[in-house]
Amino acid sequence: MAERRRPRAASRAGRRFARVLLAGAMLGVLAGCESQLVLKADDADRGLVIVLPGIDGRMPYNEIAARHLAEQDIRMAVELRDWTAPLGMLYNQTAVMRNREVAQTVAARIEAYRREHPGRPVFLIGHSGGTALAVWAAEALPADEPVDGIILLASSLSPTYDLSAALARSRGGIVSFYSPLDGGLLGIGTTLVGTMDGLHGESAGKVGFHRPGESGGSDPYPRLYQVAWDPKMIAAGHGGGHFDYMSLGFVSTYIAPLIRASAWDRQVAQLSRL
C-alpha cells in the first residue's frame, strides 16, 4: 500500500508547487504594474534625477529613499524608474540583452526630457543591478547630449567593465560607491549567477572598478571617482551592507550633496572626509 501512495503524494506535491509558481508569477505581474514613481514633477523644468533600482525592482525601501532624496532641496524632479521584468530576480540579473534594450528606453526618456527642457541637468543613479542600466543608458545617448553625472551604488557590473563610453557621456563623470563587506550578493552571488554583464566573479560594488593600465601611464578614467566603504559611514546608516546605500542618512549625507554640487572632484573629496 505504501508503494501505491507515493505517486499520489508526489503528484499532490507537484500540484502544490505549480500553484506556488503560478501565484508567484501573478504577484510578479501585479508588481510590475504602475512601477514608475515621479516625485516633485513641478520641478521638472529645473532638472531630472532618474533612480534605477536593483533586480528586485520598485520596493518600499527604495521608494522611501527616492522620496527622501526629493526632499533634500535638490530642486529637481526625481523619477524612480523600475526597469525589471515580472519573471523574477534571477532573470533580471542574467537577461543581458533584454536589459540593454531596456536601457535604450531610459536613454530615450532622457532625450525626450531634454527636448522639452533643453539645457536642464540630468543625473542617473543606479543601485546594484540598476547600475548597469545607468551605464548602458548613458552609453546609448548621443555624444553631444551627455548627462550631468552618474552615481553607482553597489554596482553588480564586473570590475573590468569598460566605462569609457559612459564616462564620455557624463559631464561630471561617475561616482561609484563600493564596499568590501558586500560579499554575499556581490561576491558569492555574482560568482555563481553572473554579473549584470554576464561574467562570473566578484562585482565592482565589492572590489571597485579596475582601471585599464593601472600599473603605469596616464589615468584612463580621470573622471571615475571611487568611494570605498569606511566605518565612519556607519553614522549615516551605512554599515557596509548591500542595501545600506538606501538608508536615509546615506542619501542625505552622500548622495544629495553630489546632485547639488557644481564640481564632483571637490565634492567627492569632501565626502571622503566625512
For position 274, what pLDDT does the model report? 82
- The phi and psi torsions of 49 (rounded to 5 degrees) equal -115, 120
CB 78 within 8 A of CB 66: yes
Q: Residue 81: its pLDDT value, please?
A: 97
DSSP-derived secondary structure letter, 82: -
How far apart CA 170 and CA 139 sit, in angstroms, is: 9
Calculate the dihedral angle through the C-alpha atoms of 106, 185, 161, 253, rounding to the nearest 10 degrees.
70
pLDDT of residue 270: 86
pLDDT of residue 22: 42
- Tens-digit pLDDT profile for the chain (274 aa)? 444 444 454 445 445 434 433 444 444 443 444 478 999 999 999 999 999 999 999 999 999 999 999 999 999 999 999 999 999 999 999 999 999 999 999 999 999 999 999 999 999 999 999 999 999 999 999 999 999 999 999 999 999 999 999 999 999 999 999 999 999 999 999 999 999 999 999 999 999 999 887 556 678 898 999 999 999 999 999 999 999 999 999 999 999 999 999 889 988 988 888 8
83: which residues sit within 8 A by CB, 6+ positions away? 52, 53, 57, 99, 102, 103, 106, 130, 133
Q: Considering the entire predicted model, what is its pTM? A: 0.87
The DSSP letter of residue 75 is: -
Question: First CA to last CA across the chain, in angstroms?
Answer: 71
The burial class, CB within 10 Å (0-12 / 13-18 / 19+), for 239 is middle
For residue 30, what pLDDT is reported? Answer: 39
Domains in the chain and their CATH numbers?
33-273 (3.40.50.1820)
Query: What confidence score (pLDDT) does residue 262 get?
Result: 83
pLDDT value of residue 83? 97
